[in-house]
Amino acid sequence: MKTKEFEKAIDALNLGIVIDEMKLNHSNVRQVTGHLENEGVIWNEKGEAFSTDFEWRENKEDGDLVGVFGSSLERNKLYDLKFE
């Protein structure tokens, strides 16, 4: 699949997903990484989705962000892509 096909399929989900990275193999998409506010999503070359929840950790003293931690990836058919 080409990048435009993945972009259209992700937009068609109408969830406001931001695409962070596309990994290519000879101009075909191999993997896509994206995110929502508190959830990360990774798609494989077939458009099958895997997701993880983000946990924001802040410094207890001043409230500054210490880091963002994710749980392990789980298969999530809610985000599977449908190509035209």
Buried b (16+ CB within 10 A) or exposed e, 3-18: eeebeebbeebeeebe
| Pairing between β-strand 28-35 and β-strand 65-70 as defined by DSSP bridges | unpaired
pTM over 0.85: no
Which tens digit of pLDDT belongs to each residue from 28-75? 999 999 999 889 999 999 999 999 988 777 887 888 877 777 778 899
What residue segments make up the domains of the chain, in order of their start?
3-79
Spatial separation of the C-alpha atoms in residues 44 and 32, rounded to whole Å: 7
